[in-house]
Amino acid sequence: MTMPTKSKTKTTVWVMEKGQIHPRLDHLTTEEPLEIRLVPFQKTVAVTMRTPGADFELAAGFLYSEGVVSRREDIRRISYCVDESVDGEQRYNIVNVELRDGLIPDLQPLERHFYTSSACGVCGKASLEALRIRGCPVIPSGPTVTPEIIYSLPDKLRAAQSIFTATGGLHAAALFDAQGQLLNLWEDVGRHNALDKLIGTALLSDELPLNNCIVLVSGRSSFEILQKSTTAGIPIVCSVSAPSSLAVSVAKEFGITLIGFLRGERFNIYTGLQRINAT
């Protein structure tokens, strides 16, 4: 039986510094494909480039965000694929998700996910209309937070990024409570994968919706980040870079406070100003 792929990969690099070159052992963020299959349909619904780790949570979060499952009980079992042709070898890049008896999801919307890159997921291929059709509710009002709580989040995220510290090449999604306490964090080569891991963890622990929580993602806020946050009921979404126009549209329509350019003691509020208590 082979062991699961690690999240870090060793390599040798040659460092050029002040006209001198010397070799050095370095670590890279591992990037490998993960195929998500639905049982008993025997259908591949997505192939995403991800950093190995929390693969079951990633699969659960992805299926929840896409509306394939709506509650923990919809998933009977998640397991790695076993290749019977090679002495029962486990395939750690293929995850089987067994749905409950009688659940027949609409799989047509998932066709756009057959290949999902780590860089941008399905940017530009999904639409706001899809969320409307699914009937995602507007997120309830509250909580309200002070600017000081928002200011504190990036440092807490960076301090908890163990793989980024070793590789310097990884995104993260962190979940905080309304007081700014870190609840969970996942890292991945893709921001959308890291958020799926967060949401999948909450789904499998019966902790959804996350109506009193804050999410901070490294990089920018895309449509997909806001789509996933909407389905999970997250009221405040922050990023260290800019949101896209479609991300702002989603946040505005579904009642999310969207914060961007969160750096030091400064940030922009694009929607949902009422949740920020600046007095």
3-state secondary structure the chain: CCCCCCCEEEEEEEEEECCEEEEEEEEEECCEEEEEEEECCCEEEEEEEECCCCHHHHHHHHHHHCCCCCCHHHEEEEEEEEEHHHCCEEEEEEEEEEECCCCCCCCHHHHHHCCEECCCECCCCCCHHHHHHHCCCCCCCCCCECHHHHHHHHHHHHHHCHHHHHHCCCEEEEEEECCCCEEEEEEECCHHHHHHHHHHHHHHCCCCCCCCEEEEECCCECHHHHHHHHHHCCCEEEECCCECHHHHHHHHHHCCEEEECCCCCCCEEEECHHHECCC
Active-site annotation holds for 120:
yes
Which is catalytic among the residues 120, 136, 213, 238? 120
> Which residues form the catalytic set?
120
